[in-house]
Amino acid sequence: MKPNTKKKISGTSEESSLKHVAIIMDGNGRWANQRGLNRIEGHRASKNAIRESIKGCIDDHVLFLSLYAFSTENWKRPKKEINQLFDIFSDFLIQEIPDLMKQDVKIITSGFLDKFPKKMQDAIAVAKQKTDENCTLTVNICLDYSGQSEMIFAIQSMLRDHILPDTVDSKKVEQYLMHPELPPVDLLIRTSGEQRVSNFMLWQCAYAELFFTKVLWPDFSISIFHQAVEEFQNRNRRYGGL
């Protein structure tokens, strides 16, 4: 899969230092618990935070946004909550298609979709098909995903292709990731005050700048997004050098 380059992003140069933002969307359950609500209400309330993140990326000319929506570990949660979450996600994705088209946003996914219910798989397929030609922002929704599972995927794929061990380097590995067109993550944002990467995009985040906020995900806003970007721009990224 090759990145779509038909349109030029206004105000963004090829040398832009912030191309890829990744977000660990954490705190839905705690947000609901603080208000005496069922945990699922936290998931419902989180939809606006996704909208705010997309607007923030477009404002700041970010080209790629990866969202940690459902990890491989999330299957351990109660089945009822998981099924309700899938319904919310499916309905939200379909409802958002008109706005995604207006904003020129493309949807892709990372992870393994075969375990999800048909309604959800169909919603994802429709969103991908409808937005495939869009290119101002690519939103990568990570579902049944973990950084370790992506590395296993890449290794298995290389073995199937009989790649010789001595030819394997970082560029070769990147060719076998789920989306080789995604650049490295520049900025990783995590909400809810937790300070860990939780098995998210481990290869892509090798030199990512980390931004942690105590704000719970449903309360995440475009102003916090811009705050994270401003802090990123004030950091000195040395990549191991001086």
- 4, 33, 38, 74: the active-site residue: 74
CA separation for the pair 52, 172 (Å, rounded): 35
Q: What is the DSSP letter of 200?
A: S
Domains, the chain, in order of start with CATH, read 20-233 (3.40.1180.10)
The mean pLDDT of 212-220, rounded to a whole number, is: 98
- Residue 97 host element (H or E): helix 79-103
CA separation for the pair 41, 214 (Å, rounded): 19
Query: What confidence score (pLDDT) does residue 4 get?
Result: 39
Q: Is the pLDDT of residue 6 over 80?
A: no
Please give the sequence-ordered ranges of beta strands (E in DSSP) within the chain, or none if there are none: 20-24, 64-71, 105-111, 137-145, 187-190, 209-212
Name the residue among 56, 61, 63, 64 with its Cα closest to residue 22. 64
pLDDT digits (tens, 9 = 90+) for 182-200: 999 999 999 999 999 999 9
Q: What is the DSSP letter of 209?
A: E
Is 219 catalytic? The answer is no
Q: Is the pLDDT of residue 3 over 60?
A: no
pLDDT digits (tens, 9 = 90+) for 108-158: 999 999 999 999 999 999 999 999 999 999 999 999 999 999 999 999 999
Q: Is the pLDDT of residue 10 over 60?
A: no
Query: What confidence score (pLDDT) does residue 169 get?
Result: 97
Please give the sequence-ordered ranges of beta strands (E in DSSP) within 74-128, or none if there are none: 105-111
Is 140 catalytic? The answer is no
User: pTM for this structure?
Assistant: 0.91
User: Which neighbouring-strand residues pair with 107?
Assistant: 139
pLDDT digits (tens, 9 = 90+) for 89-121: 999 999 999 999 999 999 999 999 999 999 999
Residues 6+ apart with CB under 8 A from 200: 22, 24, 68, 71, 142, 145, 146, 147, 188
CA separation for the pair 108, 66 (Å, rounded): 9
Query: What confidence score (pLDDT) does residue 24 get?
Result: 98
Confidence at 239, pLDDT banded by 50, 70, 90 = confident
Query: What confidence score (pLDDT) does residue 16 get?
Result: 53
Place of tokens 């705010």: 52
- 26, 60, 186, 219: the active-site residue: 26
Sign of CA dihedral 220, 221, 225, 230: negative
The mean pLDDT of 52-76, rounded to a whole number, is: 97
Pairing of strands 105-111, 187-190: unpaired
